[in-house]
Amino acid sequence: MLIHHRKLPNYSTLLPGRLPPDDVGLKSSQFQIWYNNTNESWVGDGERLHFHTSSDECFIVLKGAIEVEVEGVRTIIKEREFCFFPVGVFHTVTKVFPPVETLMLHAPSVEDKIYQEEKPL
């Protein structure tokens, strides 16, 4: 295969990555793109403060906005803006302002997420 060409769908899905759920995506161990296209927030679906041990992550906001937390500081990433999280930096998405369309780039495509420990009260 020399090229994998598809139209972006009207739903959220993995484009290249370890286990694409449908024929829009393709399998890749080196690069991962999660495409979000939704009218609903995904915060609350397991989004927690975490870092990656061996991969970098980048969010690109095409439409709408998201709020991210990085090392305790919250920032709203607006349409046509991006944010980058290098290896080892704690981060999470704290709010989604739908309708939203984003790309989440992750390289390499590995399971390396480490969640911040919950602190006892």
Average pLDDT over residues 45-64: 90
Residue 101 belongs to domain spanning: 13-112
Answer yes or no: is 118 within a domain. no
Answer yes or no: is 54 within a domain. yes
Q: How far apart are CA 120 and CA 102, in angstroms?
A: 34
Answer yes or no: is 87 within a domain. yes
pTM listed for this prediction: 0.86
Average pLDDT over residues 41-60: 88
Which of 109, 94, 93, 13 is closest to 85 using CA atoms?
93
Answer yes or no: is 31 within a domain. yes
pLDDT score of 119:
45
Other C-beta atoms lying within 10 Å of the C-beta of residue 107: 16
Answer yes or no: is 3 within a domain. no
Token readout for 8 is: 């972006």
pLDDT score of 28:
92
Tell me which amino acid residue 86 is: P
Answer yes or no: is 4 within a domain. no
Average pLDDT over residues 58-77: 95
The string over 28-52, giving b where at least 16 C-beta atoms fall within 10 Å of a residue's C-beta and e elsewhere, is beeebbbbbbbeeebeeeeeebbbb
Q: How far apart are CA 51 and CA 77, in angstroms?
A: 19
Tens digit of pLDDT for each residue in 76-103? Answer: 999 999 999 999 999 999 999 999 999 9
Answer yes or no: is 73 within a domain. yes
The DSSP code sequence of 22-73 is STTSEE-SS-EEEEEEESS--TTSS---EEESS-EEEEEEEEEEEEEEETTE
Answer yes or no: is 63 within a domain. yes
State the chain's mean pLDDT as an integer: 90
pLDDT score of 66:
97
CATH number at residue 17: 2.60.120.10
pLDDT score of 115:
86
Domain count, the chain: 1
What DSSP state is assigned to residue 119? P
